[in-house]
Structure 1
Amino acid sequence: MIAGLDLWFWACLVLSTLSFAICIFQFLRGAAPDDYSQGSVLVLEAFLIIYLVGSIIMQALTDGPSGDWLEFYGYLITAMIIPAGTFIWSLTERSRWSTLVLGLTGPVLIIMLHRMNMLWYYY
């Protein structure tokens, strides 16, 4: 762990920052959602699926979260809904504003995974 945060968080930080940068660049260009912006959010969703599987395995092999496990998995399921929801939004509304909504997925996931990290290790 670096600075009290595990590698899952740091992987999320890198992927979410890249997704945010791609989507904001596309938004500033005035572009509608395209393969780059939507693809970056799909990568975040794939990461969260892997995170879910890893969390289940880690809970089976260790004591699980230090905090409430129900709150941890509630955060995780909510975090998995956000990229899926923004992706569906971008399919239905093909405007530059959908690209901005896709971009906001990254910072939201960083905050949510930070909270999940706190629940797993400290609370």
Structure 2
Amino acid sequence: MPGGWDWWFWTAAVLGAVSALVCTVQALRGRRPDDLTQGSVLLLEAFLLVYAAGSVLMHLLGPGPTGSALEYWGYLLTALLVPAGTFVWSLVERSSWSNWVLAAAGPVVVVMVYRMNVIWYYQ
């Protein structure tokens, strides 16, 4: 399996792509943030919370990351803040531009989860 391409990555990739697609379509339609766009980002955040809980358990019960643990936890904290920050942004700024901000969360999370998997398993 290539570095970082495990089921955590593929789950993040699917959720991130669906979230980005939904938010982009709504932004192109000129819609304001709604339950669909905000919900897709909240689903991404929920996945990251499960990912974080799994990381804590694996760190306590297993050997931990093969790369820098500080770098791993920094990526994880940042990945948790990105969807949460875009969600808050969409609550404050109720224009269609907020959907573009929400759309950015998906690809950012996918790249960060990929990098976290590389740090955990392959460095």
TM-score range, shorter chain: over 0.9
Instruction: Work out the CA distance in 2 between the residues paired with 1:10 and 1:54.
Output: 16
What is the rounded CA distance, in whole Å, between the counterparts of 2:84 and 2:60 in structure 1?
A: 27
SS of residue paired to 1:64: coil
Give ranges in structure 1 of 5+ residues lacking alignment.
none
Partner of 2:92: 92
Amino acid at match of 2:2: A
Q: Does 1:66 align with 2:70?
A: no
- Aligned-pair RMSD on alpha carbons? 0.8
CA distance in 2, matches of 1:35, 1:98: 13
Partner secondary structure for residue 30 of structure 1: coil
Amino acid at match of 2:83: P
Q: Distance in 2 between matches of 1:105 and 1:82?
A: 6
Counterpart CA distance in 1 for 2:34 and 2:114 is: 29
Deviations 1:1-30 (A, max 9, x none): x43311111100010010011000100100
Matched positions, count? 122
Using the TM superposition, give the Cα deviation of residue 62 of structure 1 relative to its aligned residue in structure 2, in angstroms. 1.3
How many angstroms apart in 1 are the aligned matches of 2:100 and 2:32?
A: 9
Unaligned runs of 5+ in 2: none
What residue number does 1:3 align with?
A: 2
TM-score calculated relative to the size of structure 2: 0.96
